[in-house]
């Protein structure tokens, strides 16, 4: 329970003031983490708090810009994953990467198989060690079968077996339970505890507080790329942790203007897609901004994609202004007045190698064409209208979209969809990777669109954005809408609570 006995022994892993930026985006401002041997250390924080970046620095995938990094008291500097591995660090990712064609045993030992006296791979020794490791984990596994077709849970066990065979002293599990069933989670926890009792330091990253409190000895909270606190798990409550995770002021960065909220435009009625989301119902009214909040991977983008018709869904119906939106037919959805600004604008929103003008007019090529031909002039004229209205800062319309900043790219994508004159606009992560100034501009734009009577469905992982912009917040957790919170009642705590708790529904 207390951490004092270990203070003489150097910690298994220690990071102090670690910083990392990607261009202008600061992923980690100052992160601290001190993981003792013989302990399971939970690392929690909102989406974008910097946990994943921290893990990648420890794993040798990224190099830190500043700060200190110690392993068992020794300062270290990794420039590759191989070095981190050699130093005894193993990372188990949410979705393991194995070789599907190779056997379970080969997957554990690839690249460092035991050799016999003839210089051949000693298959018997390899299998004996593998079965010994799985025996220790008390797990049954067919050692000869290929990794193909194994469940995520079993694949994670192979990763853990790999870590043990490497004798990793630090084991980092990045949201390992996200894809596991209840029984599998229990089995994983039993394995984690026995590894801890062997003297290893384990870092456990999870959004599920019940699991965090059931498994961990110590908990560190991160927020906005900074270290917030570290406590023994017995000394804190869930409420305190949630408050520390979100604890910041909601500034007036998000200026939602009052808009007249009219009749229902988009109605989603009980749609389900097996294994992705189930029984999702909601509506969006004219002039209203509805936010889909929740954790990354909860199924928000998938719901949006299904509504727009990119992905199939199994049952239920979607109507737009009283007319049925056909399933799996984005072109029909567009014709009806639905627009989707996707999550990944570089891959899904823009053709980076094409000009701004061409990108901005992609959605209205048919109207622009004359006898099937489009002139650059028509293209530029149409694009100029939107570029001016959205204040796209681009020296020329024929600049390549890939050369624009994130904020300006997002405006081009917005312009492309606004040109179709939509009645309902779905925006997935409207301000991801955009600098603060442009962020406010994008927010103003969205708010302005709502003011003109467009219904807006916004997916956002940024709580302040959700709270500042939305008239209504729908919280998605593991493929279901678990809470609907009105603007007046929406607080960081209430949204975060609904996003992380399985059973209870808020209000």
Partner 1 sequence: MSPIGTVRPPANAVARLTGHFFRSRETGILAALVIVIAVTTIVNPTFLFSPDGFRDLLLTPSILILIAVGQAVVIITRSVDLSVGSVVGLTAYLAGRLFIDVPGIPIIAVFLVAIAAGAVLGLINGLLVAFGKVPALVITLGTMYAYRGVNVLWTGSNRVNSSDMPKVFLDLGTQTVLFIPSLTIIALVVVLATGWYLRNKRGGRELYAIGSDPDAAELYGLNVTRRVLVAFVLSGVLAGLAGILFAARYGTTNSQTGTGLELQAVGAAVIGGVAIFGGSGTVYGAAIGAVLLLTINRALPILGIQDFWQQAVVGALIIGAIVLDRLLALRLSRKLTSEHQVSHD
Applying CB under 8 A, the residues found at the interface with partner 1 are: 80-82, 85, 97-102, 106, 110-113, 115, 119-121, 128, 131-132, 134-135, 138-143, 145-146, 148-151, 154, 183
Report the nearest approach of partner 1 to the CB of residue 219 (Å). 28
The three-point CA angle 482-487-489 to 5° equals: 70
* CB nearer to partner 1: pick between 112 and 346: 112
Residue 101 or 239 having the CB closest to partner 1: 101
Contact 271, 315 (CB under 8 A): yes
Helix axes 492-500, 238-246, angle to 10 degrees: 120
Nearest to 206 by CA among 60, 64, 61, 40: 40
Q: Is 186 helix (H, G, I), strand (E, B) or coil?
A: helix
Query: Under DSSP, is residue 463 helix (H, G, I), strand (E, B) or coil?
Result: helix
Q: Report whether 164 contacts 189 (CB < 8 A).
A: no
When the beta carbons of 80 and 279 are compared against partner 1, the nearer one is 80
Task: Let me know how long the chain is.
Answer: 507
- Integer Cα distance of 465 and 434 in angstroms: 13
Residue 125 or 310: the one with the smaller Cβ distance to partner 1 is: 125
CA distance 90 to 42: 16
The distance from CA 39 to its chain's CA centroid, rounded to whole angstroms, is 27
Evaluate whether 3 touches 232 at the Cβ level (below 8 Å).
yes
Q: How far is the CB of 162 from partner 1 (least distance, A)?
A: 9
Provide the minimum distance between the beta carbon of 482 and partner 1 in the complex, in angstroms, as a whole number: 27
CB of 315 to partner 1, least distance (A): 24
Which of 310, 278, 303, 291 is CA-nearest to residue 486?
A: 291
Least distance between partner 1 and beta carbon 108 (Å):
11
Residue 226: how many other CB atoms lie within 10 Å: 18
Query: Which element (helix H / strand E) includes 325?
Result: none
**In the complex, what is the shortest distance from the CB of residue 131 to partner 1, in angstroms, rounded to a whole number?**
3
Helix orientation angle between 123-136 and 152-165, rounded to the nearest 10 degrees: 110
Could you give the CA distance from residue 48 to residue 434 in angstroms, rounded to a whole number?
13
The 3-class SS string of 59-99 reads CCCCCCCEEEEEECCEECCCCCHHHHHHCCEEEECCCCCCC
Beta carbon of residue 89, minimum distance to partner 1 (angstroms, whole number): 12
- Give 189 or 213: the residue with its C-beta nearer to partner 1: 189
Nearer to partner 1, 96 or 479 (CB): 96
Give 7 or 151: the residue with its C-beta nearer to partner 1. Answer: 151
Shortest reach from residue 40's CB to partner 1, in Å? 24
Q: Which residues pair with 204 in a beta bridge?
A: 42, 173
Least distance from partner 1 to the Cβ atom of residue 301, Å: 23
- Of residues 258, 201, 481, the one with CA closest to residue 499: 481
Beta carbon of residue 178, minimum distance to partner 1 (angstroms, whole number) = 18
Min dist CB 167 to partner 1, Å, is 16
Smaller CB distance to partner 1: residue 116 or 489?
A: 116
Please say which residue, 141 or 291, places its beta carbon nearer to partner 1. 141
Give the helix/strand (H/E) hosting 268: strand 264-273
Count the neighbouring beta carbons within 10 Å of the beta carbon of residue 194: 13
Which CB, 75 or 119, lies closer to partner 1? 119
* 182 vs 372, beta carbon nearer partner 1: 182
Task: For residue 301, list its beta bridge partners.
Answer: none
């Amino acid at each position: 329970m207390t951490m004092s006995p270990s203070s003489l022994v150097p910690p298994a892993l220690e990071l102090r003031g670690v910083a990392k930026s990607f261009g202008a985006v600061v992923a980690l401002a100052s992160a601290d983490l001190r993981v003792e041997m013989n302990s399971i250390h939970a690392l929690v924080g909102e989406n974008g708090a910097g946990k994943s970046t921290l893990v990648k620095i420890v794993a040798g995938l990224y190099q830190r810009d500043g700060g200190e990094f110690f392993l068992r008291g020794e300062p270290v500097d990794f420039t590759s994953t191989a070095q981190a591995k050699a130093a005894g660090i193993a990372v188990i990712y949410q979705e393991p990467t194995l070789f599907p064609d190779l056997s379970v045993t080969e997957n554990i030992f690839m690249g460092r198989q035991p050799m016999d006296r003839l210089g051949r791979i000693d298959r018997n020794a390899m299998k004996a060690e593998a079965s010994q490791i799985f025996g220790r984990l008390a797990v049954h596994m067919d050692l000869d079968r290929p990794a193909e077709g194994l469940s995520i849970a079993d694949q994670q066990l192979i990763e853990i077996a790999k870590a043990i065979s490497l004798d990793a002293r630090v084991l980092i599990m990045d949201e390992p339970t996200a894809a596991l069933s209840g029984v599998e989670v229990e089995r994983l926890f039993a394995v984690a505890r026995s590894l801890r009792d062997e003297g290893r330091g384990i870092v456990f990253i999870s959004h599920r507080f019940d699991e965090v409190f059931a498994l961990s000895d110590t908990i560190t909270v991160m927020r906005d790329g900074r270290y917030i606190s570290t406590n023994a798990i017995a000394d804190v409550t869930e409420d305190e942790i949630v408050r520390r995770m979100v604890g910041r002021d909601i500034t007036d960065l998000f200026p939602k203007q009052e808009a007249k909220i009219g009749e229902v435009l988009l109605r989603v009625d009980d749609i389900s897609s097996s294994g992705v989301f189930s029984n999702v119902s909601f509506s969006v009214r004219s002039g209203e901004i509805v936010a889909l909040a929740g954790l990354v991977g909860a199924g928000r983008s998938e719901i949006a994609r299904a509504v727009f018709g990119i992905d199939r869904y199994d049952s239920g119906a979607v109507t737009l202004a009283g007319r049925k939106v056909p399933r799996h037919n984005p072109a029909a959805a567009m014709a009806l007045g639905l627009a989707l600004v996707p999550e990944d604008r570089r891959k899904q929103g823009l053709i980076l190698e094409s000009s701004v003008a061409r990108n901005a007019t992609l959605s209205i090529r048919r109207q622009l064409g004359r006898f099937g031909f489009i002139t650059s002039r028509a293209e530029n004229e149409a694009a100029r209208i939107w570029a001016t209205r959205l204040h796209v800062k681009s020296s020329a319309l024929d600049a390549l979209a890939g050369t624009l900043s994130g904020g300006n790219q997002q405006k081009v994508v917005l312009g492309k969809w606004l040109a179709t004159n939509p009645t309902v606009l779905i925006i997935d992560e409207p301000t991801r990777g955009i600098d603060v100034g442009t962020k406010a501009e994008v927010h103003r734009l969205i708010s302005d669109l709502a003011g003109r009577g467009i219904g807006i469905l916004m997916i956002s992982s940024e709580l302040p954005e959700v709270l500042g912009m939305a008239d209504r917040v729908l919280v998605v957790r593991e493929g279901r809408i678990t809470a609907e919170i009105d603007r007046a009642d929406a607080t960081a705590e209430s949204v975060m609570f609904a996003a992380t708790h399985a059973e209870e529904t808020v209000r």
